[in-house]
Amino acid sequence: MRTGADYLRSLQDGRRVYLDGERVADVTEHPAFRQAARSIANLFDIAADPALRERMTFPSPKTGEPVWRAFQIPKSAADLKARRLFSETWAEATFGLMGRTPDHVASFFAGYAAAPAVLAAGGNQKFADNAVAFYEFMRDNHVYASYAIVPPQIDRSKPAHKQSDPTLYAGVVKERDDGIVIAGAQQLATGGPLSDYIHLSCIHPLQPGDENYANCLAVPVGAEGVKLYPRRPFARAGNAFDYPLSSRFDESDAYVVFDNVFVPWERVFIYRNIELSRDQWFKTPSHAYGNHQAQVRYVTKLRFMAGLAHRMNEMTGNIAAPPVQIMMGELVALATVYDAMLLAHETAAPIRDGIVWPSIVILYSAMALQSELNGRMLEIIRELAGSAFITLPSSSADFDNPEIAADLERYMRSASTDAKSRVALMRLIWDFLGTEFGSRHAQYEKFYGGASFLVKQNVFRNFDFKRATALVERALSLPALE
Ligand SMILES: Cc1cc2nc3c(=O)[nH]c(=O)nc-3n(C[C@H](O)[C@H](O)[C@H](O)COP(=O)(O)OP(=O)(O)OC[C@H]3O[C@@H](n4cnc5c(N)ncnc54)[C@H](O)[C@@H]3O)c2cc1C
């Protein structure tokens, strides 16, 4: 199986990643990406561990070799659970703090391959075959893809083709015998600088006239003309003691520019087709599998969050106070709702054409409320913290100066631990919710699955109003009372 070392070596492919006015020479050594790349490499090693073979892999139907369960197309509830356990194992390795680990986009491709007839509709068999072939290639070679499926926020008041320049949004600009050429930008490839392939498509509704933007394809990150512009990195913000999470798990979010990128036909899965551009997400289980993985990751993160808050209260000596226990009760009730919903969208999973889908209405309900409830949970921790994250020394260097360290040891300890342990825990929690890394995470949980007004529309479309209104009809037709 592909190991972490194999993965790290393959990132040295001349990819164009631009940071602070310069091209990054090697993402595996640049301080902005070095540790995050190693955190991903660790996932490859976990999946390749023979002791975890059953949990992390299934035999490829093509080669018989072990491949990641993220690529498994579930035919039973047990298969869906096996996918969950795979993703949970990876999520625990990153404390749920890396959202677009390789199992995310792998799940989208498993969804396309589970229902290729959707992509083949209207005589598009060749493109559907390409999608299945790429899925098999990814599966059998343990490929890590990131994706950019949202048009840039340049002018949302106009459709893609009516932007001030038709090549602002990533779209096809030239058709050749052997493939197509893509120009324009798309957001927001989380993990882009660390992935093997970029999956480009569009989840925003497109209008007639937008055909050039209605594509689904994959290109190697190192392909000629692919340029990545990541946001400001957090990894180099300080040392690992002061920024224990930023320094290890900053997966990066990158704006992708396609500077006339050639894409061979074999890597084109939808071409200039507005209807399929929409149907790929909701008529195949791609969006459902991808976001099932996202919820597995989120539930792991919430478990970590609950643990952090509990340890914080132990440290401050407030843990036995009834009002604190009541607020903690609310926090863990919310976390438990998410845990239970995750299990529920597995147990209420419908089977369509022999393929198991997670329950869409439960999945989208969880995602729709995440935008607000995640903020509520963070707010509870802030409320319980008081000044816990602020009454700390300026950096770990203070512990190295004996004169300062003596004061820190005396005045910054807690009843249960020495000063350094207290500071380490508070730094961990602050990095979780207060640093730039923590703040980006709050934004991530709001928007990783799209703006919540769109997710709420998904819930609306899928809720069983027929059953609900049948109750209303029955209530209205109750026999008159004597
Ligand atoms: C940290 C992070 C990581 C991400 N990672 C990825 C990734 O890996 N790949 C990827 O493709 N995408 C990713 N996304 C998601 C994505 O790119 C968008 O941020 C997300 O889909 C929301 O779209 P937008 O930012 O364009 O916001 P907009 O669509 O502009 O919406 C912003 C806000 O405007 C309001 N609004 C806009 N239009 C309407 C309307 N019609 N009705 C009501 N209110 C409206 C709402 O309040 C909405 O929340 C990520 C986002 C974040 C924040």
Of the candidates 289, 274, 121, which has an alpha carbon nearest to the alpha carbon of residue 212?
274
- Cβ of 313 less than 6 Å from ligand 1: no
What the block records as the tokens of 422 is 């207290």
Residue-wise pLDDT tens digits, 223-246: 999 999 999 999 965 689 999 999
Q: Is 318 found in the same domain as 200?
A: no
Q: Do 278 and 293 have their domain in common? A: no
Report which ligand 1 atom has the smallest distance to the Cα of 440: 1
Cα 442 to averaged position of ligand 1 atoms, centre (Å) = 13
Same domain, 325 and 345: yes
Question: CB atoms < 10 A from the CB of 123, how many?
Answer: 7
Distance 451 CA to ligand 1 centre (A): 5
Query: Residue 157: CB within 6 Å of ligand 1?
Result: no
> In this structure, what is the dihedral angle of CA atoms 299, 96, 370, 277, given to the nearest 10 degrees?
-110
Assess whether 273 and 326 both reside in one domain. no
- The answer to whether the CB of 459 is under 6 A from ligand 1 is no
Report yes or no on 481 lying in a domain: no
> From ligand 1's centre to the CA of 93, what distance in Å?
28
Buried b (16+ CB within 10 A) or exposed e, 57-84: bbeeeeeeebbbbbbbbbeeeebbbbbb
Length of the chain: 482
Q: Quick one: how far is CA 269 from the chain centroid?
A: 22
Tell how far the Cα of 103 is from the centroid of ligand 1, in angstroms: 22
Nearest-CA neighbor of 200 among 282, 212, 208, 114?
Answer: 212
Which of 250, 255, 448, 455 should be mutated for ligand 1, with most atoms under 8 A from CB? 448
**Claim to verify: residue 186 and residue 323 sit in the same structural domain:** no
Report the SS3 class of residue 9.
helix
Atom of ligand 1 nearest to the CA of 189: 8
Q: Whose CA is nearest to atom 6 of ligand 1?
A: 188
- How many folded domains does the chain comprise? 2
Residue 476 lies in a domain: no
Measure the CA dihedral 128/129/134/140, to 10°: 130
- CB-side exposure of 195: number of CA atoms within 13 Å? 34
pTM above threshold 0.95: yes
- Ligand 1 neighbour 154 (Cβ under 6 A): no
Task: Please give the distance, rounded to the nearest whole angstrom, from the Cα atom of residue 202 to the centre of ligand 1.
Answer: 12
Q: How far apart are CA 198 and CA 180, in angstroms?
A: 16
CA distance to 357, 404, 420, per residue, from 311 (Å): 37, 26, 15
Give the separation between CA 135 and CA 403, rounded to whole angstroms.
60
Show the tokens assigned to 292. Answer: 């099932």
429 lines ligand 1 (CB under 6 A): no
**Hey, what are 42's tokens?**
């660790």
- What is the CATH classification number for the domain harbouring 59? 2.40.110.10
Write down which residue in 282, 307, 331 finishes a domain.
282
Three-state secondary structure call for residue 6: helix
Is 480 part of a structural domain of the chain? no
In a domain, 45, yes or no: yes
**Looking at the domain assignment, is residue 194 inside a domain?**
yes
Reported as type and span, the H/E element at residue 42 is: helix 34-48
In a domain? residue 482: no
Question: Shortest CA distance to 134 belongs to which of 58, 13, 218?
Answer: 218
Whether 478 is covered by a domain: the verdict is: no
- Ligand 1 centre distance from Cα of residue 3 (Å): 34
Q: Are strands 216-220 and 268-270 parallel, antiparallel or unpaired?
A: antiparallel
Q: Are residues 150 and 261 in the same domain?
A: yes
**147 CB less than 6 Å from ligand 1?**
yes
Q: Does one domain contain both 24 and 114? A: yes
**What's the CATH code of the domain at 325?**
1.20.140.10
In short, whether 410's Cβ falls inside 6 Å of ligand 1 is no
* Ligand 1: nearest atom to the Cα of 444: 1
Q: Return the structure tokens found at 308.
A: 């952090």
333 and 196 in a common domain: no
Residue with the smallest CA separation from ligand 1 atom 15 is 448
Q: Tell me the per-residue pLDDT of 145-166, one tens digit each, with 9 for 90 and over.
A: 999 999 999 999 999 999 999 9
Q: How far is CA 91 from CA 132, 181, 203, 301, 473, in A?
A: 27, 36, 25, 8, 46
* Residue with CA nearest ligand 1 atom 45: 453
| Side-chain-side CA neighbours of residue 220 (13 Å) | 12
State if residue 149 touches ligand 1 by the CB under 6 angstroms criterion: yes
**Cβ 253 under 6 angstroms from ligand 1:** yes
For the Cβ of 78 lying below 6 angstroms from any atom of ligand 1, the answer is no
Q: Is the CB of 417 under 6 A from ligand 1?
A: no
In this structure, are 90 and 104 located in the same domain?
Answer: yes
Question: What's the Cα-to-Cα distance from 92 to each of 87, 129, 189, 245, rounded to whole Å?
Answer: 9, 35, 22, 13
In angstroms, rounded to a whole number, what is the distance separating the alpha carbons of residues 85 and 97? 17
Q: Confirm whether 436 is domain-assigned.
A: yes
How far is CA 196 from its chain centroid?
A: 16
Q: What is the pLDDT along the chain (482 residues), one digit of tens a residue?
A: 999 999 999 999 999 999 999 999 999 999 999 999 999 999 999 999 999 999 999 999 999 999 999 999 999 999 999 999 999 999 999 999 999 999 999 999 999 999 999 999 989 999 999 999 999 999 999 999 999 999 999 999 999 999 999 999 999 999 999 999 999 999 999 999 999 999 999 999 999 999 999 999 999 999 999 999 999 999 965 689 999 999 999 999 999 999 999 999 999 999 999 999 999 999 999 999 999 999 999 999 999 999 999 999 999 999 999 999 999 999 999 999 999 999 999 999 999 999 999 999 999 999 999 999 999 999 999 999 999 999 999 999 999 999 999 999 999 999 989 999 999 999 999 999 999 999 999 999 999 999 999 999 999 999 999 999 999 999 999 999 98
Index of the ligand 1 atom closest to the CA of residue 104: 8
CA of 313 to the centre of ligand 1 (A): 35
Q: Which of 230, 250, 282 is the last residue of a domain?
A: 282
**Residues 126 and 188 reside in one and the same domain:** yes
Q: Are 158 and 26 part of one and the same domain? A: yes
Atom in ligand 1 nearest the alpha carbon of residue 153: 26
Closest CA to 90 of 76, 104, 79, 108: 104
Last residue of a domain, one of 282, 299, 315: 282
- Does ligand 1 come within 6 angstroms of the Cβ of 394? no
- 232/278 same-domain check: yes
Look up residue 434 and give its two tokens: 């207060």
Q: Whose CA is nearest to atom 13 of ligand 1?
A: 188
Give Cα 323 to chain centroid, integer Å.
Answer: 35
Find residue 171's DSSP bridge partners: 183
- Please give the residue range of the domain that contains residue 376: 286-471
Whole-angstrom Cα distance, residue 174 to residue 180? Answer: 6
